[in-house]
Amino acid sequence: MAWSIRWTYRFRINREEFGPTEREYLTRRALKMSEDDWRMVDDAEKEQLLERKLYEGDNLEEYLREREREERARLERSGAYRRYQRIRRAGPASYNYNED
C-alpha cells in the first residue's frame, strides 16, 4: 500500500522522471514478465528493451507487432508449418466406405 502511494506521489503528482529501476520495472510489467523471467534475459537485450520505452503504449504495440511478424516469418520457414498449411488447404481427407 505504501509503495503504491509513494509511486503515485512521485510519478503522477510530482511528475518525476523514471529512474533506471522504475523503467526496468515498467518494461517488465508491460511485457508481462515475472522477475525470474526478466533475470533470464541477457543484458544486451534488456538495454534494447529499455531504450524502446515499452511502458509507453504505442511503443509496446509496435514492438509486439514486430515480434509477431518475426514469429510468422520464422514459422513460414519451418518445414513442419508448411506441411501443416498444405494439409489444411487440402481439406479433410475423404474416405470412400462403399466398396464397389
Res 20 pLDDT > 70: yes
Cα→Cα distances 48→6, 25, 41, 93, Å: 28, 15, 11, 48
Domain ranges of the chain: 9-55, 57-89
pLDDT digits (tens, 9 = 90+) for 42-97: 999 999 999 999 998 899 999 999 999 999 889 888 888 888 888 888 877 667 67
pLDDT band at 98 (very low <50, low <70, confident <90, very high): confident
Tell me which H or E stretch contains 33: none
- For range 4-26, the mean pLDDT: 88
In 3D, which of 65, 60, 73, 68 has the Cα closest to residue 32? 60
pLDDT of residue 21: 92
Across 16-21, average pLDDT: 89
